[in-house]
Amino acid sequence: MRIKELCIAMANETGDDSLLGGGGGPVAEEPVDDGPLVTAADVAARTTLDIKTIDRLVAARRFPAPVQLSERRRAWRLNEVLGWLRNLDAWDADAF
């Protein structure tokens, strides 16, 4: 998250947002409220999947990616996990 903040500050100072993929000018950072975050243990309990299975599904892009909170801590957006559960029939059964 620190790198993103530095890139935004540099883009605002210089007016060059090429690092951010934009077309120039000041960059406004909008607050994001994606709802509560849940731990890997919470995700495993809600989905009845093992944490290693969740990791395999994330790697295969068949499960929502976690938010990296620190080097060793991650969490999932609850609304993404619940959305995945609601749309299970749209996912490939071979992914399990």
Cβ distance 51 to 40 under 8 Å? yes
43: number of Cβ within 10 Å: 22
**Residue-level pLDDT at 73:** 95
The pLDDT, as a whole number, for residue 89 is 72
Q: What is the arrangement of strands in the sheet containing 74-77, beginning at the earlier edge strand?
A: 37-38, 74-77, 67-68
Mean pLDDT split into 10-residue runs, the chain, 96 residues? 60 61 53 80 96 97 95 95 88 57
pLDDT of 18 reads 59
**12 within 8 A of 24, measured Cβ to Cβ:** no
